[in-house]
């Protein structure tokens, strides 16, 4: 079941998402949180940092797992999601360094890395609250159209639409990664609660298609209709 919250500004979307995560940490300080990257959650992270630094919330007992990482990118790479998360969240909050996790994009054996990451999530007790964005083509995580609903953490070849969307983060087109490790759709759906953020005119078509209720692997986000506790916060 999806609960729809329409907002009038990006800031309002970020505040509402922060309220949901704040409530989760208040109820369960040792929550396992699923995190996302990209433009959609930046305001949310800024607000969570503010609340943590004001001692309104604490991540001291929490654990986090990010959705994805580019293949070929490591924690020292300026365009890696490791670096994005350190810059925008991890370095500014009280989350212990040993309890934030991302896939290893530099792993020699990518298949083994997918299995390792999946087992790490399972060993943590599973994700309590997962944050998502949505791609213009309906991808969640980096699960592109056609990804199986029963997929677990996997290596995905990124579509041209996704690579174009991400081009703004890279100096040259040839620098845009062609593959990523991502939580699979079934991995995402195993989270107990999910919050999806979608703001801006470029996300309108994807939101409208999600609203239609049609469920198909050609539009990965549509699987969320099968989840018992999803909140979509959207606007333009």
Nearest CA among 179, 178, 201, 149 for reference residue 10: 201
Q: Where are the beta strands (DSSP E) in 1-137?
A: 2-6, 32-35, 63-66, 68-70, 100-101, 129-132
Catalytic residue (choose from 47, 66, 139, 166): 139
Written as six digits, the tokens of 229 are 């506790």
Instruction: Classify the C-alpha dihedral 99-23-190-82 as positive or negative.
Output: negative
Written as six digits, the tokens of 187 are 């991995």
137 is catalytic: yes
The torsion of the CA quartet 233, 15, 185, 214, rounded to 10 degrees, works out to: 0
30 is catalytic: no
Catalytic residue (choose from 66, 137, 143, 166): 137
Catalytic residue (choose from 66, 128, 144, 166): 144
Catalytic residue (choose from 68, 113, 118, 128): 68
Question: Hey, which residues are catalytic here?
Answer: 68, 137, 139, 144
């Amino acid at each position: 079941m999806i609960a729809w919250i329409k907002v009038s500004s990006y800031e309002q979307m970020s505040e509402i998402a922060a309220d949901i995560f704040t409530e989760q940490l208040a109820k369960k300080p040792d929550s396992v949180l699923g995190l996302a990257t990209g433009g959609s959650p930046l305001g949310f992270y800024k607000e969570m940092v503010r609340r943590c630094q004001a001692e309104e919330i604490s991540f001291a007992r929490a654990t986090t797992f990010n959705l994805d990482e580019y293949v070929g990118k490591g924690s020292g790479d300026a365009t890696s999601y490791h670096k994005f998360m350190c810059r925008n969240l991890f370095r500014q909050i009280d989350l212990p360094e040993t309890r934030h996790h991302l896939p290893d994009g530099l792993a020699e054996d990518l298949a083994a890395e997918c299995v390792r990451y999946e087992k790490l999530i399972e060993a943590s007790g599973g994700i309590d609250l997962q944050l998502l964005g949505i791609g213009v083509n309906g991808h969640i995580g980096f699960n592109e159209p056609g990804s199986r609903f029963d997929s677990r953490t996997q290596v995905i070849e990124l579509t041209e639409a996704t690579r174009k969307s991400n081009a703004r983060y890279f100096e040259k087109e040839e620098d845009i990664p062609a593959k990523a490790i991502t939580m699979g759709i079934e991995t995402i759906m195993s989270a107990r609660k999910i919050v999806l953020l979608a703001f801006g005119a470029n996300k309108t078509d994807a939101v409208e298609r999600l609203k239609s209720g049609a469920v198909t692997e050609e539009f990965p986000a549509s699987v969320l209709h099968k989840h018992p506790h999803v909140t979509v916060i959207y606007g333009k």
